[in-house]
Structure formats: structure tokens, C-alpha cells
Amino acid sequence: MSTHAYLRIESVEGGSTDRHHEGWIEVRSFTWSETSGAGAGGHAAVSGRVTASPLVVTADVSVASPRLMVACARNERFDVAELEVVQAGENGGRPFLRWRLQDVVVSGYAVTAEDFLPVDTITLRFESLRFDVVPQQPDGTPGSPVTGEVDFTRPSR
């Protein structure tokens, strides 16, 4: 299955021309993880908190790049950022994975070049996350989303 991913950070104009993601940032790759405070035997750690790593996204350098660099330098806060992964092809454009981040800061910005093709690495820290998986029905239509939400500023219990 061929997929495409797109990132939208409020007030940051990206270069995507996809009809469903016009003005979003076209994503090459991304990574994110969380770890719990559970100790050996599953007992919760003293803090009772889950630790979220930042969301790290790579994208080709675009019209969004200068704005992201400035946002990082100024420690600018954004209310919302969204990452969507869509299936390419005949039924394309429908997101089957969605992340909605709230209280977001661009905590890192870097440009690297492989074979002289510049690529942004964008690091986003955030306080809460909603993650949706949208299953596909046998007839190809989207099913009901399965959702998980975590506020990383609150204890996990």
C-alpha cells in the first residue's frame, strides 16, 4: 500500500498541492514514541507519568522551512498541529492515521542534505495527543475511527 503523509501546524503555510492537504507540509518520514513509568512487575513508578518523546518529522525543504526555523528560535507555541497519513490510489486522500497534537512547540529544526537534496528535520514537543486509526470497510469506505487520547501533563492514573 502506497501512502503519503502531511503535517499542518497552525499559521505555518506548507507547499503541498494535494487537494485534501493544500498548504500542508509534505512529510517524508516521522517517528514518535512514549514510555510509561511502570517498573519491574508492572508497578507504576513514583511519578505515575507517561513520558512522550517529541514527534520528529522529516520533509523536503519548502516554503514552510523559514517559518519553522523562526518558530524554533523564538520558542513559539502553537495551539494545534496535525499529522495525517493517507492511502494513495483510487480511494486516496482519505486519512487512515491521524495525530492531533495540542500545545505544540517547534523544539528543534535542522537542515541536512543527502546528495545535495536539502531535507528539514522538525522536532515538535506537545502536551496532549489524540491518535485516530480509521479502518477501511470491505467496500473501501472508511469505518468508525478508533481513538486514543493522552494528556502528558497529568499523571497517568
Q: What is the pLDDT of residues 92-131, one digit of tens each?
A: 578 899 999 999 999 999 999 988 899 999 999 999 999 9
Residue keyed to cell 528535520: 121
Q: Comparing 21-25, 59-63, 77-81, 113-117, which segment has the lowest mean pLDDT?
A: 113-117
Gyration radius (Cα) of the chain, Å? 17
* β-bridge partners, 77: 105
- What would the grid cell of residue 102 be? 495540542
- Record the cell numbers describing residue 147, joined without a space: 481513538
Dihedral in degrees, nearest 10, Cα atoms 67, 84, 90, 59: 40
Torsion on CA atoms 15, 94, 132, 27, rounded to nearest 10 = -30
**pLDDT tens per residue, range 64-93:** 999 999 999 999 999 999 999 998 765 557
Within the chain, what is the greatest distance between any pair of CA atoms?
Answer: 50
Pick the CATH number of 3-32+46-151 from 1.20.1250.20, 1.10.520.10, 3.10.20.90, 2.30.110.20: 2.30.110.20
Q: Is the pLDDT assigned to residue 42 strictly greater than 70?
A: no
pLDDT band at 136; cut points 50, 70, 90: confident
**Is the pLDDT reported for residue 59 higher than 90?**
yes
Domain ranges in the chain are: 3-32+46-151
pTM of the model: 0.88
Cα–Cα distances (Å) from 63 to 12, 116, 146, in that order, read 9, 18, 34
